[in-house]
Structure 1
């Protein structure tokens, strides 16, 4: 079994070999420069989804947004590796749910304010698998999201992400 399937880092400091990603994110979190959409890309197993989960945890920590989540608040515990998750952080596996109906459902839920966190974070894993119709269903909300909403697209093939979506991400 691959190591990335057994071990998931819980903080940016634990992510190995991705300092070019974790350091700018940590600086942005520490300085309060939060963007509404991020695109994480790279080869399989490099930590895209793990980094997305850590970012969600960092954004919703009671001490946050912070580069170093406390690990003790309800949000940190729920979003930790092996945690139960929260209603405010939704992960969509686009490899099996990338159609227009799935993204429309995601879009409808995105307008609701977070239940118990600061932000509602939508992580779209394997984003290159979202259909063009699915991306078009998300386009308006990615262009003009509510203040509480943050998108994180994770993909191995960023060139397959709709260019208008890609241009709205950091």
Structure 2
């Protein structure tokens, strides 16, 4: 169950007109924090992201399931089920096993995994890999939309930061 403040942050993102993936990012961040706090481990950064996305879908964030062929069919089905559950449509659960038992088993398995999957290096590597799979046009469109939803004050701050970075890089290249 996601924490109240995570759901609140995601709702605030939605009100601000931010993309579903940005709203889902709050849940992914929570999951990474859980791993770093030692609540449980993950096999990889991808697993931490997948758990976060699953929680986001179940909490009602409208994140589209992965496209055919990009992940296993089981992962796709799970994403579709999670999304349906989050939208309040009943996904038929054929399993007779209790939710508590399944939840406890999952946590027990994750506890055996390490914390390296949520390290800065692992996340950076995963981010780069994911971005490299996307075409330049798609990355550019995402950046343009992000700039729009930032608001005037946010854009101004970002521009100042960019100018500062450029100045710092320029002065360091002269030496």
**Which of the two has greater strand per residue?**
1
Task: Report 1 or 2 for greater relative contact order, CA contacts < 8 Å, sequence distance ≥ 6.
Answer: 1
**Common fold by TM > 0.5:** no
TM-score between the two structures when normalised by the length of structure 1: 0.30
TM-score between the two structures when normalised by the length of structure 2: 0.29
Larger radius of gyration: 2
**Which of the two has greater helix per residue?**
2
